[in-house]
Structure 1
Amino acid sequence: MTDRPSPSMRDDYRAFRTITTRWMDNDLYGHMNNVVHYSLFDTAVNGWLIEEGVLDIHRGAQIGLVVETGCRYFAEMGFPDVVTAGIRVARLGSSSVRYEVGLFRNEESTAAAEGFFVHVYVDRQTRKPIPLEAPLRSALERIVS
């Protein structure tokens, strides 16, 4: 008997972004290298935040710093797959957020990989934690699971 969790389904996520894989994402074994998964998590979440208008990567006073990450791999992906990243918020604190991201290969309904990362939102200049700005909090509340 195993304690390994089962992969999530697409319906378990609240927001989605589609990301096309690249030739360079494959490793010598012919599948997506594990480090690419982390890049996809970051791309999906930050892309969603930018699209929602709550992250200004160049001039925003508040930025998110990653303080913890993790990933579980369930199935292979690789170029030329199209990946849909499902995004949800598992925990919403006063200055921190735990994002969970499921990576779905092509049209599959079961996650090929699932990861998480924790952002602590800080003042861009001082790098000291500050409360989430109201528009950011509002956007995140919509995808809390």
Structure 2
Amino acid sequence: MAAPRPRRSDYVIFRPMQTRWMDNDVYGHMNNVVHYSLFDTSVNAWLIEQGLLDPATSESYGLVVETGCKYYAEMQFPDAVHAGLRIARIGSSSVRFEIGLFRNEEEEAAAEGFFVHVYVDRATHRPVAIEGARRSAFETLLV
């Protein structure tokens, strides 16, 4: 038996996002690559809003080392999408973000994905510890 689809209550915060006309593919639904763009946008927007990332100047930032997605239901333009965010694991230099994409006001996710970021020094690209304000902010999303 398949695991149940994630529900809104499984996520800590939400970011509203709007599908675009160009997101539909020839089959009339949102192309799979768009899901990854929504995942990436929701995580990075949260990081920027929290003051944890300035793409041009941050001394360290997260590099994606693993990602994945499960698709449960179709989405299409002009659907509104609500991206639910949570963190499943915080390591010494890595973090696993999990994202649920919810179509319009539906309670069950249309898709769920994840990103594992390893934090690296901008100059050396070597892993750095997640500590201080970054770790504290991540802990607010930890489930």
The answer for the alignment partner of 2:132 in structure 1 is: 134
Cα offset, 1:82, TM superposition: 0.8
TM-score normalised by L of structure 2: 0.97
**Letter paired with 2:20:** R
User: How many Å separate the matches in 2 of 1:96 and 1:20?
Assistant: 29
The structure 1 segments of at least 4 consecutive aligned residues displaced by more than 3 Å after TM superposition are none
Pair 1:39-2:52 in alignment: no
Name the SS for the 1:46 alignment partner: helix
**Letter paired with 1:13:** Y
Per-residue Cα deviation, 1:91-143 (whole angstroms, up to 9, x for no partner): 10011001100000011111000001100000011100000141111110001
Give aligned pairs, total: 143
**Letter paired with 1:136:** R
Cα offset, 1:16, TM superposition: 1.2
Cα offset, 1:34, TM superposition: 0.5
Pair 1:81-2:79 in alignment: yes
Structure 2 unaligned segments of length 5 or more: list them: none
Cα offset, 1:5, TM superposition: 2.1
Per-residue Cα deviation, 1:44-100 (whole angstroms, up to 9, x for no partner): 000011111111111000111000011000100011111000000001001100110
Q: 1:53-64 alignment to 2 at 5 Å?
A: 53-64=51-62
Picking from 84, 88, 107, the partner of 1:109 is 107
User: How many Å separate the matches in 1 of 2:52 and 2:115?
Assistant: 18
Name the SS for the 1:94 alignment partner: coil
The answer for the alignment partner of 1:72 in structure 2 is: 70
Q: 1:81-100 alignment to 2 at 5 Å?
A: 81-100=79-98
The Cα RMSD (Å) is: 0.8
Structure 1 unaligned segments of length 5 or more: list them: none
TM-score normalised by L of structure 1: 0.96
**Letter paired with 1:17:** R
Identical counterparts, % of pairs: 64
